[in-house]
Amino acid sequence: MANDRTVSWINPIGGHGDTLMISGVLKLVLEAYPEKRFNLVRRTSYLAILKGHPAIAGIGFPPRGAPLQLTSYWAVPDFDKDNIRAFQALAGMFGLKTPVPEKIYVPEIKDDSHRLLLENIPWRSGTVVIAPSSCSPRKAMAPQRWHELTERLTTRGAFVIQLGEERDVRIKNAYSLLGLTTPMEALKVIGKADLVVTSDSFFVHAAHYAGVPAITLWGPTSHKVYGYEGQHPIQAPVVCDIAGGRCITSTKPNVYSTQCQFNFEGHCMNRISIDEIMDLAGKYL
């Protein structure tokens, strides 16, 4: 374990999507400053992505008084007001001159532990990965809407794979891999798909990394902040007056893990048109 006090420690906060952005920014830092290295605070959920990163000198626990590199990009002044892109805000926090290219980097997998998983999926042309869930329930479209979407995709001949956590609601007519993939394995699965349909989550960033077409669904957050060029964003209509329809902001941290207070029809994510998703999906099926 490296514990040099002159090396900054990174204690990532946020979800796996944030960690993918951090990984990309760290690679850009290394390219700009080849001698620069960081230590990583040992937290299991982030090691799945950052372990083996060339910018990480060591993994462990920082000594008292060690310098700490922050990753809370949403705390950048005027982040919400000015629609600053998350990747650019994070890059600026690490001392990079922005704008920077928004490239996600993932350390190479040294083994073939994912091979058995990939070999046992019944792949076929027209494979669509769906990722309905999100760390915040406010960013998720209701399962009923995903059931409808998946039924229509399979009727059109698509093979639909669902990725996510074991606790997520299983979507009918989808080949479920819930709880069966690590973040790195999920990246491999996405890399073999023809299309990804996802809420604002890790899978937006994963599709960008894999270079796979993605239809991304947005409501209380904005694709202008978190999405990527080349993806197909669908922004839900504003149906409430809470923060102009963007209820997840740095000034309202208490709402992130809570359900939308409006009913099924009132939740903005449930106003997203399934017809619009299908029209976009038709380009790849």
Residue 184's identity, in one-letter code, is M
Distance between CA atoms of 242 and 248, rounded to whole angstroms?
9
First to last CA, the chain: 49
pLDDT in tens, 95-104: 999 999 999 9
Contacts of 98 (CB under 8 A, 6+ apart): 88, 91, 92
pLDDT in tens, 41-100: 998 788 989 999 999 999 999 999 999 999 999 999 889 887 899 999 999 999 999 999
Q: What is the pTM of this model?
A: 0.93
Domain coordinates of the chain in residue numbers?
Answer: 9-93, 115-281
Which CATH homologous superfamily contains domain 115-281?
Glycogen Phosphorylase B; (3.40.50.2000)
Q: What is the dihedral angle through the alpha carbons of 118, 121, 123, 127, rounded to the nearest 10 degrees?
A: -90
Task: Kindly state the tokens that stand for 82.
Answer: 């000015």
CB atoms within 10 A of CB 153: 24
Q: Is 176 helix (H, G, I), strand (E, B) or coil?
A: strand
